[in-house]
Structure 1
C-alpha cells in the first residue's frame, strides 16, 4: 500500500493519541473530516494500523514492575521456535518479545505486580517450553520512557 504525505501525518498523530477525533485531526492535517475518516478506515482495513490500545499508568493500578529478559534456546528448530513464539504471544505478562541476534535468542519485556508473580511465570515458561536453555533478568528500577509509536517520516525521497 502506497502511503502519501497525509497518511504519514495521520499515522504519527494517531500513534500519539488514538482517541483523537477526525475533527481534531483535521486541525493538524489539511484534509476534510470525511477524507480523514476514509483514510483511517483504509489504513485499518489494509493492516497498516494493526490495532488501537490504551496505555495504562502502572502506578494508578497498584503498580507493576518491568523485567527485561534475555532468553536463550537450546535448538533453533522451526517447530520449537513456533511453539515458543505462540507461548510468548499468548502470555499477557509478556508485553513485547523480540527475536534477536547476539548471545540471546529472544529479548522480552515482561510486567508483573511483584517478584513472586514473575518467578511463577518464569517457572511456568521454562516447564512448558523444554527448549529454553537459560534466561537472565534485569529488573527495571524506574520507568524513563514507555511507548510503542514508530516514527513515520512524513516526507519520503
Structure 2
C-alpha cells in the first residue's frame, strides 16, 4: 500500500459514497486509477465491507448494552458453538473473543430492557456453556465508528 491507497482509505472511511472523481481530484489521481486501486483493495480484503451506519434510536433500538460473557468450559467445539450463536444474533452488533477474566465481550442493541431480558434467555440462559454474564447499560453513545487510524 502506498500513500495514494492510504489517502483513498481515509476518504472512504469518512464517506464510502464519495465519487471516485472527487477522490481523484483530492489526491491527484484519475478516476480510473482510483477505481483500480479500490477494486484491488477490495479483492485483497483490505476493504472488507461497504456499510451504512444507521440511526439506532430512529429505528427503534435506543438501548446499547456491553456484555461480558463467562463460559463454563473452554472446549474448542463449545466455544465455536457459542460464538456462532452470538454472531448469528441480529441484536449483537459486535462480538469479541477476549483474553482475561471473561471469554466474550458483546455490544448489543435492544428496543427496551424488557426486550434485552428476552434476549438474555435465548443467548445466555439457554446456552449450557454460559456460566454467567455481566451487563453494562450505556447511558449515551459518545462515539460510534469503525474507522481504523491510517498514517501516511
Contact 2:65 2:137 in 1 (8 A): yes
Contact 2:124 2:133 in 1 (8 A): no
1:44 has 2:42 as partner = yes
TM-score by length of 2: 0.94
Q: Which has the higher contact order (CA 8 A, sep 6+)?
A: 1
Deviation track 1:109-150 (CA, whole Å, cap 9, x = no partner) reads: 000111111111111012442111100100010110100111
TM-score by length of 1: 0.91
Contact 2:67 2:108 in 1 (8 A): yes
1:95 counterpart SS class? strand
Q: How many pairs align?
A: 152
Which residue of structure 1 lines up, in the alignment, with residue 6 of structure 2? Answer: 8
Residue 26 of structure 2, aligned match among 12, 28, 32: 28
Query: Shift of the alpha carbon at 1:60?
Result: 2.5
Separation in 2, partners of 1:67, 1:127? 17
Which structure 1 residue ranges, 5 or more long, are not aligned? Answer: none
- RMSD of aligned Cα (Å): 1.3
Which residue of structure 1 lines up, in the alignment, with residue 112 of structure 2? Answer: 114
- Following TM superposition, the consecutive aligned residue runs of length 4 or more in structure 1 with deviations greater than 3 angstroms are none
Which residue of structure 2 lines up, in the alignment, with residue 92 of structure 1? Answer: 90
